[in-house]
Structure 1
Amino acid sequence: MGIRWLDQLENMLAPYPMAYPAVVLAALLLVAWLANFVTKRVLLRGLRSMIERFSGPNHNARQPLRVIARLSNIVPSVVLAAGLSIVPELPPGLVHGLKALCHAWTVLTIAMAVSHALDAFNDFYERRADARNKPIKGYLQVVKIVVFVFAGLSIVAILVGVELLHLVTGLGAATAVFMLIFQDTILSLVASVQISGDGRVRIGDWIEMPSQNADGDVIDIALHTVTVQNWDKTVTTIPTKKLVTESFKNWRGMQEAGGRRIKRSIYLDQHSVRFLDGAGLERLGQIALLDDYLAGKQQELQQWNAQVAQAHPEPVNARRLTNLGTFRAYVELYLRHNPGIHQDMTLLVRQMAPTPQGLPLEIYCFTSSTAWAKYEAIQSDMFDHLLAMLPEFGLHVFQESSDAMLMTARDQRDRQP
């Protein structure tokens, strides 16, 4: 009956040239549109509801649906390719060209669907606990490049009308050209393999690379670039090969060790260093942290001085405590009793070589927290306390000369009647 109806329609439109082919072609386009509409509006919505029902609300169904939605675009091209043969009076060359375009669109759609499928696989892989240590995004990007290269060659072969194998064989002579074009991709692939193999950079690492103006957390590792979000919230992209050919600092070891280093000096005025007399010892004896140190040190000095006094009774030959040595012992004891300092790591309080800016008393230790804010708070509290304790030992911080005291004296003189 359908064929009889088409014959009647053809007879009715016979007086009008090309009217019947136009009507058939319009009907074919309508069928292709309806197939696309039914696929996307009905089947995809039903599939989305089914995935959400069986997978739960926390499941991300967007990536799988993107793959299916991309594949659904094949439906209208298949309908058009199959229906062009029944459209009458179309030139054979035009039919062949339109079919080639439909087949090329099908190949491109499949390649894009494969790309979305690889993205979905990467999202699924990144949910693993060890994904940050072994990222696969770079490898998947290489697969995407291969897929799109073959898709491009297939599309060219379809449009030109030659076999894909013959086209690939003809491109063998252009291998050197392709190597030159894709040299950055090849170098990036090698760098990605090395980075993933030895784990020198992982997502979430804090890296510092001054040559690339990068100082922050790694947020993405791709084939060609590694993305770093700096502490000022700017984003820096580093070529992947740079992480193999150039040096950079990775702070992951500090975070895994559980302690962050403090290495800072207090510059003391050397003119304030002196021996402790009886009043000074009595005053410092009130500091609880120094009880054991002073008792042991005084006993040691008494035994030493008793032996030396027999041959050289002059006071200059006797050993005595200094305010600087006692302060150094106090700093070490203070750090040993500070809960913010990691006690299982290196802890030193050492006197460095004098400089024109004063006598450096370096404090070398590690905090018990690696968090930036906590680290700065521990360090600031520690130096606040030590600087405030210096006058108790009769010590002064060295500071560059300024006209502050001169201005104060001048103001006082001006105020006098």
Structure 2
Amino acid sequence: MRNLRHTTFDWLITQGVAEGTAKYLNMLILLIGLSLVALIVDYVTKRILWRFSAGVAKRTKTNFDDILITNKLPRNIAHIIPLIILIEFVPDVFADFQYFETIVEKTLKVIAILLTLKIIRSFFNSIKDYLKTLPRYKDKPIDSYIQIFMIFAWVLGVFAIFSILTGITFLNFAISLGTASAVILLIFKDTILGFVASIQVSINDMVRIGDWITFEKYGADGDVIEINLATVKVQNWDKTITTIPTYALISDSFKNWRGMMNSGGRRIKRSVIIKTSTIKFLTDFDIERFKKIELIDEYIEQRSKEIKKFNTDNGVDKSILINGRNLTNFGVFRKYLQTYMDNHSAINKDMTLMVRQLEPTPQGIPMEIYAFSSDIRWQNYEYIMADIFDHVLASVGFFDLEIYELAIANTD
């Protein structure tokens, strides 16, 4: 190229071309020639690297090299050689045009920095995609880590570009930005908050990909499908996508259902309100009638003997039912529900299981079932809970009890 620079110019002069015109034509011819050489080298290099990388990928067992090809890393690397050729021979092309030479050299150096960033991005994206194929990293916020690395890379790249364009050394340019730090912090406030939040979320293991979270403030109720530096994406149960700022996970309150999912049981906590006016002591006739209920026949038999013995030993006057010790239909019903839950095949017996009486309300007395289903899948959980309370609601009447229902006055 250096010999051609003079040869082409001399030939144009011998052809009677004016010296000024010869310089421009010489530059144009050399520029076209250099561009063609760069394009050819680029094409050949890409083909060679692609065939080489594809061959290596076929022979290896790991899929990391396949991911590198998918993210176009070999293709981006192939651009390096033609770019080096352009940077090397541009001074010869613009030897007579110092001003253009400076502009083109700076442009090529900026392109070199951008190409380097592109290669780095392809490499990090490949690492991200590969780690997501490993079971131990599937639920980790890999996107956040990659974005952090890329932010640092882009910051350094932008500094280098400005340094090239302004002629200021990289170190002096970085120092000069210190005076504008307040403005920079303001511009990158969300990014900085997201960066800090990503670190805290990761260290404290607050959220993983695949976790079911409920975030009422943002209307999110579903599975986490992506965690990156700025946002967390949640796919709600109606298949809509809710985007939550990452820093909101540490500044606001949300519910993560992972503990329930890992516990082997999903909580059932629901009550029915019993009308207070239907609660009564049991007569001998009631006791004999309730003995026919198989789940509690032994309990009633045993308790009746204990109560009768206590009342006899203490000379209790049973002409009035309230005297002494007695069974109530409400207490027997609670025991019936406890026994029913103890024998229910879909309830996890290794976790808390109880039927309890809550504080009376103006509507009546709540009878609450507190237990955990052994199947945590939503659809099955709802079926189990519905099956239990179908039985509860249907069995109330057998104990001479009634469930509170709000009566609406007829205004007609």
User: Which residue in the other structure is 1:164 paired with?
Assistant: 170
8 Å CA contact retained: 1:219, 1:228: yes
8 Å CA contact retained: 2:307, 2:326: yes
Q: Residues 274-321 of structure 1: CA distance to partner in whole angstroms, max 9, x if unpaired?
A: 33344433333222211221121111111112123x253533324332
User: Which residue in the other structure is 1:72 paired with?
Assistant: 78
8 Å CA contact retained: 2:5, 2:30: no
Percent identity for Structure 1 against Structure 2: 35
How many angstroms apart in 1 are the aligned matches of 2:208 and 2:409? 52
**In the alignment, residue 52 of structure 2 is paired with which amino acid?**
L
8 Å CA contact retained: 1:10, 1:20: no
How many angstroms apart in 1 are the aligned matches of 2:326 and 2:64? 74
Q: Which runs of 5+ in 2 are unaligned?
A: none
Q: Among residues 96, 99, 109, which one is paired with 1:93 in the alignment?
A: 99
Q: Among residues 250, 260, 265, which one is paired with 1:254 in the alignment?
A: 260
Q: Where does 1:169-248 land on structure 2 (aligned, <5 Å)? A: 169-248=175-254
Cα shift at 1:330 = 0.6
* 1:127 paired to 2:133: yes
How many angstroms apart in 2 are the aligned matches of 1:12 and 1:77? 29
SS of residue matched to 2:226: strand
User: Which residue in the other structure is 1:11 paired with?
Assistant: 11
Question: Structure 2 vs 1, CA of residues 319 and 156 (structure 1 numbering), >3 Å: closer, same or farther?
Answer: same
How many angstroms apart in 1 are the aligned matches of 2:192 and 2:86? 40
Question: Structure 2 vs 1, CA of residues 5 and 263 (structure 1 numbering), >3 Å: closer, same or farther?
Answer: closer
How many angstroms apart in 2 are the aligned matches of 1:169 and 1:312? 98
Q: Among residues 260, 270, 290, which one is paired with 1:284 in the alignment?
A: 290
Q: Among residues 314, 320, 334, which one is paired with 1:315 in the alignment?
A: 320
Q: Where does 1:313-392 land on structure 2 (aligned, <5 Å)? A: 314-316=319-321, 317-392=323-398
User: Which residue in the other structure is 1:413 paired with?
Assistant: none
8 Å CA contact retained: 1:206, 1:251: yes
8 Å CA contact retained: 2:141, 2:226: no
**In the alignment, residue 173 of structure 1 is paired with which amino acid?**
T
Question: Structure 2 vs 1, CA of residues 5 and 343 (structure 1 numbering), >3 Å: closer, same or farther?
Answer: closer
How many angstroms apart in 2 are the aligned matches of 1:60 and 1:341? 48
* 1:46 paired to 2:56: no
The worse-fitting range, judged by mean Cα deviation, of 210-219 and 103-112 is 210-219
TM-score by length of 1: 0.87
How many angstroms apart in 1 are the aligned matches of 2:8 and 2:184? 58
**In the alignment, residue 236 of structure 1 is paired with which amino acid?**
T
Cα shift at 1:240 = 1.9
8 Å CA contact retained: 1:367, 1:378: yes
How many angstroms apart in 2 are the aligned matches of 1:98 and 1:136? 39
Q: Which runs of 5+ in 1 are unaligned?
A: 408-417
Corresponding pairs, count = 403
How many angstroms apart in 1 are the aligned matches of 2:33 and 2:115? 24
**In the alignment, residue 269 of structure 1 is paired with which amino acid?**
K
**In the alignment, residue 165 of structure 1 is paired with which amino acid?**
L
8 Å CA contact retained: 1:51, 1:61: no
**In the alignment, residue 295 of structure 1 is paired with which amino acid?**
E
8 Å CA contact retained: 1:133, 1:196: no
How many angstroms apart in 2 are the aligned matches of 1:318 and 1:84? 110
The worse-fitting range, judged by mean Cα deviation, of 312-321 and 110-119 is 312-321
8 Å CA contact retained: 2:50, 2:75: no
SS of residue matched to 1:360: strand
How many angstroms apart in 2 are the aligned matches of 1:350 and 1:169? 69
How many angstroms apart in 1 are the aligned matches of 2:97 and 2:12? 22
8 Å CA contact retained: 2:38, 2:86: yes
Cα shift at 1:53 = 1.0
How many angstroms apart in 1 are the aligned matches of 2:227 and 2:368? 39
Question: Structure 2 vs 1, CA of residues 100 and 334 (structure 1 numbering), >3 Å: closer, same or farther?
Answer: same
Q: Among residues 78, 83, 102, which one is paired with 2:89 in the alignment?
A: 83
User: Which residue in the other structure is 2:156 paired with?
Assistant: 150
The worse-fitting range, judged by mean Cα deviation, of 330-339 and 312-321 is 312-321
How many angstroms apart in 1 are the aligned matches of 2:8 and 2:38? 24
Cα shift at 1:392 = 2.0
